[in-house]
Amino acid sequence: MIKPHGSDKLNPLYVQDAAKRAALVKEAEGLPSIVVSSAAAANAVMMGGGYFNPLTGYMNVADSISVAENMKTTSGLFWPVPIVNVVKDASPIKGAKRIALKDPNVAGNPVIAIQDVQAIEEFTDAQMKMMTDKIFRTDDPKHPGVSAFNSVGKTVISGPIQVLNYSYFDKEFPETFRTAYEIRDMMAKLGWEKIVAFQTRNPMHLAHEELCRMAKKDLKADGILIHMLLGKLKEGDIPADVRDACIRKMVELYFEPNTVLITGYGFDMLYAGPREALLHAVFRQNTGCTHLIVGRDHAGVGDYYGPFDAQTIFDEIPKGALLLDIYRADHTAWSKKLNKVIMMNSVTDHTKDDFVMLSGTKVREMLGAGQRPPREFSRPEVADILINYYRSKK
């Protein structure tokens, strides 16, 4: 395993001592409080679990601008996207030096963290536009990440935090949600040193499964971390519990025991393409992974990014900015000529007709009609879980 990003040791912000945590929960009852955005709550979960090491809290305007423009904080730490607590109205906490942050995603809005307020500032319209353009490479309001980023407000509350819980993630996904430090412990117990991570927000089809095998074999890795996003997605994406069931069934039936860890993390998808790929690399390094699979359209949406922009951005960052390396993957699909899944760029004698390829729309239509996609595209047991999901929506 490799060192965390920016420090020799992982420094999760979750208060692990039960007595201290109980005292902070009690203290929070008497503090000025504010309900934060879903994105800010997810940022707290990620800092709590050590995923955003070595950050100690939410960024101020200067750090946010520096990160958006130059991918580093004012102190020089490499970081690809601003990690902020932004609200529309900070009047409930005006003048407060210590505040309780309430979770928008849990009934009753319990306190998710306590924050020491270092500054309350405002992003200007020009700064919001610059950050939007840099992070998402577009200011199109139809882009789900752009829409979310620009809808939460412009008032920035910066300062260190103490995290009191993991929102709904550990309760709704007790078998899957794991912190960065828990993943490090799991991999250490398995004796893994070289580990390749696979990021997913979708169920895994046969091509994804084989891509994980290819990466493990090519890198001579000890194991694979299948690491799924458990937070908010755009409308139409498969819910996390369904994805979880699909991936668990696939691993149970088709992978050798003790070669795969199935875990998830509590974060809302940004759909920021290249910049989000870098963020994925940062927090996979914090889990101890040595490599991250980055394929076509990684963390993208629509046609906002080129198919390999999320790979080439790793060539643009300073040498040594990350200890983790990426495994560069092309589109993978079943070759009718070779009778197996291959990377499409690995052959020169194939046309599109030589591959089994289905659009997402076609796959959804088939599953919705109760039809399994071809075995060359999807494992039948996985398809059945998805068929049941689409049936339940009718």
C-alpha to C-alpha distance for 305 and 122, rounded to whole angstroms: 30
Asked if residue 285 and residue 267 are part of one domain, the reply reads: yes
The reply to whether 379 belongs to the active site is no
Cα angle at 343 between 339 and 346, to 5 degrees?
Answer: 95
Per-residue pLDDT tens over the stretch 62-81 = 999 999 999 999 999 999 99
Per-residue pLDDT at 190: 95
Asked if residue 102 and residue 88 are part of one domain, the reply reads: yes
Per-residue pLDDT tens over the stretch 334-360 = 999 999 998 888 888 898 889 998 887
Backbone angles phi, psi at 376, to 5 degrees: -75, -10
Look at residue 202 and tell me whether its pLDDT is greater than 90.
no
Confidence (pTM):
0.92
Catalytic residue selected from 201, 248, 364, 372? 201
What would the mean pLDDT of 207-218 be, rounded to a whole number? Answer: 94
C-alpha to C-alpha distance for 101 and 161, rounded to whole angstroms: 9
Look at residue 115 and tell me whether its pLDDT is greater than 80.
yes
C-alpha to C-alpha distance for 215 and 329, rounded to whole angstroms: 9
Asked if residue 86 and residue 221 are part of one domain, the reply reads: no
Per-residue pLDDT at 214: 94
> In percent, how much of the chain has pLDDT > 70?
100
Give residue 235's pLDDT band: very low, low, confident or very high (50, 70, 90).
Answer: confident
Asked if residue 158 and residue 220 are part of one domain, the reply reads: no
Q: What is the CATH number of the domain that holds 29?
A: 3.10.400.10
159 is written with which tokens?
């300062």
The pLDDT mean for the chain works out to 94
Asked if residue 105 and residue 198 are part of one domain, the reply reads: no
The reply to whether 202 belongs to the active site is yes
Angle of helix 125-136 relative to helix 274-287, nearest 10 degrees, comes to: 70
Per-residue pLDDT at 286: 98
Is residue 79 one of the residues assigned to a domain?
yes
Location of structure tokens 């994804």? 208
Asked if residue 217 and residue 259 are part of one domain, the reply reads: yes
Look at residue 236 and tell me whether its pLDDT is greater than 80.
no
Q: How many domains does the chain have?
A: 2
Per-residue pLDDT at 161: 98
H or E stretch covering 294 = strand 291-294
Q: In terms of Cα–Cα distance, which of 180, 21, 47 is closest to 110?
A: 21
Is residue 2 one of the residues assigned to a domain?
no
What would the mean pLDDT of 299-305 be, rounded to a whole number? Answer: 88
Q: What residue numbers bound the domain in which 348 lies?
A: 176-392
Asked if residue 202 and residue 280 are part of one domain, the reply reads: yes
Catalytic residue selected from 202, 213, 364, 372? 202
- 170, 192, 207: which is the final residue of a domain? 170
